[in-house]
Amino acid sequence: MKKSLYALILTALCSFSGHADEPATLTKSSHPDISSPDYVGKLGAGIILGEPTGGSVKYWLNDTMAIDGAVGWSSHDHSNLYMHSDVLWHNFDLIPVSRGRLPIYIGVGGLFRVRDDNRDNQAGVRIPVGVSYMFDNAPIDVFAEIGPALDVTPDVRGEMTGGVGIRFWF
């Protein structure tokens, strides 16, 4: 599992660095017959199932960069509430599709868990890697991600977060 995770992260990093000088856009200029909504400056809200299970939001800052967050329930070690937020960089050219868009993304962010039974709350850093399918004819995207994380308080330990979800775009 660790080798597969490292290979996925390395592939994503290489693809982002290899296309750094090529501008990626949210609209497909090579397919003028496909109407593609522009997501820049828009907010998506929906659900995520996994670690955590709850609400998910995403806001596009420009054609390749977005911020996201989730708040919900965690099945992890006596947790009542889980929150995370990440900065994400997207590559739209790695997996070409004839309809919609299918960016691969990688990011960095933080997580926080509120715990019960008089246990110390947890905070950490996560590095999500995922894929999102953005529909052409509907303001919806579906996504799947894994987020290796390192809890830094109260104890230092590694873990895995992530899930699958869907968002509606406003």
pLDDT in tens, 37-64: 588 999 999 999 999 999 999 999 999 9
Within 10 Å of residue 114's Cβ, how many Cβ atoms? 14
CB 48 within 8 A of CB 163: yes
Residue 24 lies in a domain: no
Distance CA 105, CA 134 (A): 13
Amino acid at 54: G
Above 60 in pLDDT, residue 73? yes
Q: How far apart are the first and last CA of the chain?
A: 37
Q: Is residue 92 in a domain?
A: yes
Kind of pairing between the strands at 157-169 and 122-126: unpaired
119 pLDDT exceeds 90? no
What pTM value is reported for the model?
Answer: 0.78
Does 46 reside within a domain? yes
Digit-coded pLDDT (tens) for 17-41: 444 444 444 444 333 333 345 889 9
> In the chain, how many domains are there?
1
Checking if the pLDDT of 140 tops 60, the result is yes
Beta-strand ranges (E) seen in the chain are 43-51, 53-60, 65-73, 79-91, 104-115, 122-126, 129-134, 140-153, 157-169
Task: Give the CATH number of the domain where residue 121 resides.
Answer: 2.40.160.20
Q: What is the pLDDT of residue 37?
A: 57
Give the mean pLDDT of 101-125: 93
| Residue 74 structure tokens | 């965690």
Residue 89 within a domain: yes
